[in-house]
Amino acid sequence: MPDRSWFLAANGKQQGPYPEAQVRDFIARGMVTAQTLVWTEGMAGWQKAGEIPGLMSAAGAPAIPQSGGPLMSADGSGSSLSIDFGVLDFIWRTILFVIGMVLVIPAPWVIVWYQKWFTSCVQVAGRPNLTFEGRALTIVPWYFGAIVLAIIFAVFAEESGNRAIGQVDTLIQIALYWLFLKWLVANLASNGRPLGLSFSGSFWAFLGWNILTALSLITIIGWAWVAVAQTRWICRNIQGTRRQVAFKGTGLQYLWRMIVTVIASAFIIPSPWVCRWMMQWMASQTELVERGAYAKI
C-alpha cells in the first residue's frame, strides 16, 4: 500500500500525516530511525518503524541508527540544531584561542583548531559527525593582507592628519569577517564528505547590516532586534541545502538573554556556563525547514 499516510511520534508529540514516500525520504535522511514510533490506518497501536515489515528496507537506508533526531513537524517547521560541550574543555580552549589571536602570527592556525573543535560539538539531524575541513593556509593571504592594509591606512592617516582615512580599518575588518563567514560555511562536512554549502550574501549587504547595528546602539535596546534580523539574513543566504536554514528566535528573547550573559560574565567565574547556555539557545532556535516554510516563522 504505497499510498498510505503515516503519523510519527517525536519528542512526545504526534506529527503528520505524511505520505509514505515522504516518510521514506525521512528515513533515508536519518530523520526517522528504527526506534521512531509510527502509526497508520489499520494498525492496532503505535509501533517502532523498524518493526514494520518493508518500511525501513523500502526506504533504501544503508544503515539504521539506533537513536534518532527530531522530525519535521506537520506545519513545515523543522528539526532544530543542538550544541553541547564540557565547560572545562571550553575554558582552556578559549584561553588558548585568545592568546593565539593576541599574538597575531599564529591566529590562522588557532582559528582553524578552535573551529574544528566547536563544529564537532554541533549536532544536526541527518548530518552525523559534523566537521570543519578548512585549512589555515587558505586564510593566511587575506588575513595578513588585511593586517598590512590596516597598518598602511593607519600610517597614512597619521601622516596626513586625515582621521577619516583611518576608518578604512573598520571597513577592512568587516570585509575580513565576511570572507571568514563564506570560508566557514564552504568548509563544513558530514562523515568526512563536504556538504557543498556556500554563503551567497553580498559584502555590501553585510556592510549594511553592520552599519545598521552601529546605528541601533543609539536606541539602547534596538540592537537585539537588528542582531536577530541579521542572523536570519545569514541563514537565508546559506545555499546548497535541500532544506532551508532558518532562525526563529525573537529580538526580545535575544535581548534578555544577552543582558543575563553580560551581567553573569562580569562576575567572571560563571561566564563559561552562561556562554554555553546562550550558545545552546541560539542553536535551538536554528532550524532546518522545508523551502518556502520560512515565511511561516
| Helix intervals (H) in the chain | 20-28, 55-58, 87-102, 107-120, 136-160, 163-166, 168-186, 203-216, 222-236, 251-265, 271-284
Residue 96: is it exposed, middle or buried by C-beta count within 10 angstroms (0-12/13-18/19+)?
Answer: middle
Does residue 121 lie in a domain region? yes
Single pTM value for the model: 0.74
Whether residue 33 contacts residue 65, with contact meaning beta carbons closer than 8 Å, is answered with yes
Whole-number pLDDT of residue 220: 94
**DSSP, res 127:** B
How far does Cα 230 stand from its chain's mean position?
13
Other C-beta atoms closer than 10 Å to the C-beta of 108 total 21
Same domain, 52 and 83: no
131 and 224 housed in the same domain: yes
In terms of domains, do 86 and 198 share one?
yes
Domain residues for 94? 79-296
Residues of the chain above pLDDT 90, percent: 53
In a domain, 66, yes or no: no
Q: Look at the chain and report how many structural domains it folds into.
A: 2
Q: Could you give the CA distance from residue 9 to residue 21 in angstroms, rounded to a whole number?
A: 17
Please tell me whether residues 9 and 140 are part of one structural domain: no
**Which grid cell is 275?**
556562554
Lowest mean pLDDT among 21-35, 234-248, 266-280: 21-35
- Is residue 94 domain-shared with residue 209, that is, in the same domain? yes
pLDDT tens column, 133-153: 999 999 999 999 999 998 888
Question: Looking at the domain assignment, is residue 242 inside a domain?
Answer: yes
Contact 84, 280 (CB under 8 A): yes
The mean pLDDT value for 174-198 works out to 93
CA atoms within 13 A on the CB side of 55: 27
Please check whether residues 16 and 99 belong to one and the same domain: no
β-sheet with 130-132: strand ranges across? 130-132, 188-190, 193-194
Same domain, yes or no: 85 and 172: yes
For residue 48, the one-letter residue type is K
Q: For residues 85 and 212, state if they share a domain.
A: yes
pLDDT in tens, 99-134: 999 999 999 999 999 999 999 999 887 677 889 999
- Does residue 69 form part of some domain? no
**Highest mean pLDDT: which range of 40-44, 56-60, 148-152, 266-270:** 266-270
Whether the CB-CB separation of 135 and 112 falls below 8 Å is answered with: yes
Residue 267 has pLDDT above 50, yes or no: yes
- Flag whether pLDDT at 296 surpasses 70: no
The set of residues, in sequence order, having a beta carbon less than 8 Å from that of 279 and lying 6+ positions away, is 83
